[in-house]
Amino acid sequence: MRFSTLFATLAVVATGASAANFSTESISTAVSLTAQNHYGAPIPPWEVGHYPGWYYGQGTPPQGITCILEGLFCELLELFFPFLGFQCPKPPPPHQPPPPPEYSQTFYNLTCAAQDDSYQTYGLVDTVADCLAMCDSVSGCTFFNTYHDVNGKDGSTQLTCALFQECLAASSADNCGGQTQPDGSVDYITNSDGYCKKKATA
């Protein structure tokens, strides 16, 4: 699609949506969510300079991260921009369920996170169920890893949610933190869980 056509379509979405107003900023963030740029997180979490591409959850998005995955806006994107290849995560059931049978847990409560070339994207979530919903939303996702990346003194309760195309075992969990943060502290990882899906998300 030519850029001008895309722009015109965006203008329709921006002005024609009756229920809500979306800033140009959030629209441009949203259209930059493609598989090619790892859905906004081009630097994997084990490399210096990484930042989450998105936040999916009920809380306040962390500073600097647009919560573009909230219901209506996401649905508009899915409707108008199917070529972005992004599906809106389905909201998880209110009570955190055990992983559904299509997932099996490959590791539990490690202090290191998965590192693999099949990295797709990462963002922040509130619960393991939210991360599962994200894996179910991104084409090709076969494995997700949730963990607390503890850095600085005011550690967030949000979980890092990293998605991969290959099913990974505990032996792939070799990112054990140790990156020096801007405030001089060194980050470390807790509660790292890995879940493998029987069949990649279509």
Ligand X SMILES: *[C@@H]1O[C@H](CO)[C@@H](O)[C@H](O)[C@H]1NC(C)=O
**CA-wise closest residue to 22 among 72, 86, 62, 61:** 72
Residue 182 to residue 64: CA distance in whole angstroms? 16
Our CB check for ligand X shows the closer of 111 and 118 to be 111
Contact 109, 141 (CB under 8 A): no
CA–CA distances in Å: residue 115 to residues 38, 82, 136, 164, 180: 15, 30, 20, 9, 18
79 binds ligand X (CB under 6 A): no
Residue 4 interacting with ligand X (CB under 6 A) = no
From the CB of 148, what's the least distance to ligand X, in Å?
11
Task: Choose, by CB under 6 A, the member of 1, 2, 5, 21 that binds ligand X.
Answer: 21
* CB of residue 101 to ligand X, shortest distance in Å: 22
60 binds ligand X (CB under 6 A): no
Torsion sign, CA atoms 61, 63, 68, 69: negative
Binding status of residue 11 toward ligand X by CB under 6 A: no
Q: Closest separation between CB of residue 7 and ligand X, Å?
A: 20
Nearest distance, CB of residue 21 and ligand X, angstroms: 4
Least CB distance to ligand X at residue 190 (A): 6
Instruction: Work out whether 20 is an interface residue with ligand X (CB under 6 A).
Output: yes
Question: Is there binding between residue 72 and ligand X (CB under 6 A)?
Answer: no
Which residue from 36, 60, 109, 157 is in contact with ligand X, where contact means CB under 6 A? 109
Query: Which DSSP letter does residue 39 get?
Result: G
Is residue 126 within 8 A of residue 59, CB to CB? The reply is: yes
171 binds ligand X (CB under 6 A): no
Q: Helix, strand, coil % (nearest 5) of the chain?
A: 25, 25, 50
Q: Which residues bind ligand X (CB under 6 A)?
A: 20-21, 109, 111
